[in-house]
Structure 1
Amino acid sequence: MIPTVHENGSHRSRTRYTLVETEHGHLWGVCAEVAGLFGEPRRGTYELFGWVPRAEVRGWVGTRVWLVPEDSALDPWLLEDAESPGRQLGTDALVLTGLDDYEGPPEGYRGPARLHDGYRWLGSCREFTRILPAVQSPPALVLRGLVPSERLRAALLKGTRKALELREAALEIADDRGEPLTDRLLWARVGSWRRSPYGTDLIDLELDGGFLTPVPAYARPIWERWFAGSPDTPGTWVGLDTRRREAWLDLVRERACRRTVRNRPAGHAFELDGRYITDVPGLYLALGEAVNGPGGYFGGCLDALLDCLRGGFGYTAPANLLWRDFATARDHLSRLLTPDGQSRDLIAEVLDVLTDKGVNVTLA
């Protein structure tokens, strides 16, 4: 007999993973462990011929690497989480891999391009080849020790192809304190199920993971830290490199979308610790903690900061902000690059936004 969990939410505070049908919010089941959540996303490969470096490009290259075509009438395109093994031995070509599902090169363009990571120019090439990744089956997701809902139990017992097509679903993820952390969307199709070794009343459910992008392996320690709950002290992220700070900021942002923050009264005084603002994610992590405490969120880009300043994220205008060690952010973030390679002073832009929305900033 298959056990059942009822759709009254009683299990959600005691389990990490909840599988929910997205259209109507029906519960499919709850479990404490999932296999297949972490892995390597599908990456595209670029071979850049006639590579002329301006910086060392090897290993992890950047969260956002922009390729800017020489033809100014064409838009730049983005390669996310870029990596490189370096130059190909005995050639003038550089190999670069990354995620470019949403933005790719202009149609038919294979000509000269310059590369930058938002902070500095990396180099240029005379031409390139884009090698699409091999078509792969979506990764399987195994929900171990699952307690199915009555609806899922009926579908499994029926066992037809139509019944096992659960369609679009969300895997809701909570921390050890039962607080919502994030979710992942997938097209849920039952591949198989079996009784679980985790308990006689539980099953292991294998789903095709269509639409599900695995969480990169490098981010797994970040996720496991957040599984324990939101940090109790500020600055837990300061020892991370930029790549892992981005992963930390992603979870801060996603968690913030699932909770209500108490707004401070007008005239509140905030204090920003600027000692570790050496990159873009560090800026927004420090701002988030200044306004909303350890693990707090207050924007992850300039547009998101504007949204937060309009209210509902712990802030009520007007307010005062003491920005300590301001020189660190100024030195690292006042000479950035826009996608098309123009100079950008992010710190000046942030100060303009803050003051325009009623924040009296004191620099120290």
Structure 2
Amino acid sequence: MSGSLGARYCLTGDEEDDDFWGYARDASGLFTPLDSDGQRRVELRGLAPRGTLLTCLDQVGGKRALAGNAYLTLLDPSGAKMGNYFVNYVRVESVRPSSEGPDLVDATVNLWCDDLFPEAEWPWELRRTRQLTRKGMWWSLGPAGRHAWLSVALHHHSYRNLPDDPRGTVYELDGSHIVDEDSFYCALGEAVNGPGGYFGWNLDALDDCLRGRWGATKPFTLHWNHSDIARTHLAEESVTISGATTVLFEYIVEILREHDIDVVLR
């Protein structure tokens, strides 16, 4: 892990398991809107290049500057992995010596990744700095921010390595800030898995989570507090299943109860 100390990111090629591309101490341009071509222009600073990426640094301006697809991993201050994104068509555009240290470079690359939402940078930073210590930190976010919050929760969950809670666990779902479908998943994720937790971010994902391996073991009890507030907002949204349209709130409760979840509306 010594090479990861001080680094915030690392890259690994997707073609071969041992094609490690190196650690970067910082990066800019990751969490930005896509440009007109659907790309992101990213500067990797304090980069210690290896593998395919190292080879491409000598080919700037040519066809061989295309490194290919990779996994971009986010690291905490200890060098532990927090989550990753799959990035496509990484191409080296320029390279220069870095002020971060000897034998390090700053490299500008173009890449594609639809999942790097601009609003996701803040929740990742909360995790990296260990400031995500209480529930409800997403309450002030708008629709785009809540969606990005959920995406970070999903990408981070697989690195938690926590066992599911035992059968019969009672969870408290705070419905006071549920104003749309995304905010429901933000609140449910925290009810089951704590601050910033994940337990689905669409109906299909919710169904998957209820089958186990995502923090809870059914049957369990869900105390849905302030359910009247959630019902008011979710009643404004509908879902069509097999040609039939139903209110989102009622459909969510139906899914939960079909999985033997004791939903107590309070």
- Fold match by TM threshold 0.5: yes
Taking every aligned residue pair, what percent have the same amino acid on both sides? 33
Aligned residue number for residue 34 of structure 2: 41
Q: What secondary structure does 1:240 align onto?
A: coil
Are the counterparts in 1 of residues 13 and 52 from structure 2 also a CA contact under 8 Å? no
Alignment partners' CA distance in 1, 2:147 and 2:59: 44
Whether 1:309 aligns to 2:210 is yes
Residue matched to 1:300: 201
Match of 2:155 among 246, 249, 254: 254
State whether residues 32 and 146 of structure 1, in contact with CA within 8 Å, keep that contact through their aligned partners in structure 2: yes
- CA, structure 1 residues 303+230, in 2 after alignment: closer, same or farther (shift >3 Å)? farther
The DSSP-based 3-state class of the residue aligned with 2:27 is strand
Q: Is this contact kept in 2: 1:145–1:202, CA < 8 A? A: yes
**Aligned residue runs from structure 1 range 212-291, under 5 A:** 212-213=113-114, 215=116, 217-229=118-130, 231-291=132-192
Residue 354 (structure 1) aligned with residue 256 (structure 2): yes
Asked if the contact 1:41/1:214 (under 8 Å) is kept, the reply is no
Q: 1:270 to 1:152 in 2, by over 3 A?
A: same
The farther-off stretch of 150-159 and 301-310 is 150-159
Deviations 1:308-331 (A, max 9, x none): 111101111211121111101111
CA distance in 2, matches of 1:316, 1:137: 40
1:1-364 aligned within 5 A:
10-12=2-4, 14-25=6-17, 26-42=19-35, 136=37, 138-149=39-50, 152-156=53-57, 161=62, 163-176=64-77, 178-209=80-111, 211-213=112-114, 215=116, 217-229=118-130, 231-338=132-239, 344-364=246-266
Matched residue type, 1:20: T
Cα distance in structure 1, aligned partners of 2:180 and 2:116: 22
CA contact 1:156–1:163 (8 Å) conserved in 2: no
Residues in 1 aligned to 2:261 and 2:244: alpha-carbon distance in whole angstroms: 28
User: Between Structure 1 and Structure 2, how many residues are aligned?
Assistant: 263
Matched residue type, 1:233: R
Return closer, same or farther for 1:148/1:343 CA change in 2, 3 Å cut-off.
same
Give the Å deviation of 1:198: 1.5
Q: Which moved more, 1:199-208 or 1:291-300?
A: 199-208
Q: State the superposition RMSD in angstroms.
A: 2.8
Worse overlay, 187-196 or 322-331 = 187-196
Q: How far 1:217 sits from its partner (Å)?
A: 4.4
Distance 2:38 2:190 in 1: 40
Equivalent position amino acid for 2:257 in 1: T
CA distance in structure 1 between the partners assigned to 2:233 and 2:128 by the alignment: 31
By how many angstroms is 1:216 displaced?
5.1
Gap runs ≥5 in structure 2: none
The higher relative CO (CA closer than 8 Å, separation ≥ 6) is in 1
CA contact (8 A) 1:334 1:345 kept: yes
User: Shift in Å at residue 207 of structure 1?
Assistant: 1.8
Residue 260 (structure 1) shift: 2.4
TM-aligned CA deviation for residue 157 of structure 1: 5.2
State the structure with more CA Rg.
Answer: 1
**Rounded Cα–Cα distance in structure 2 between residues aligned with 1:306 and 1:279:** 18
- SS at structure 2 position matched to 1:282: helix
1:6 alignment counterpart: none
Alignment gaps of 5+ in structure 1: 1-8, 43-134
The Cα shift of 1:36 comes to 2.0
With over 3 angstroms needed to count, the CA separation of the structure-2 counterparts of 1:261 and 1:345, relative to structure 1, is farther
Report how far residue 184 of structure 1 moved: 4.2
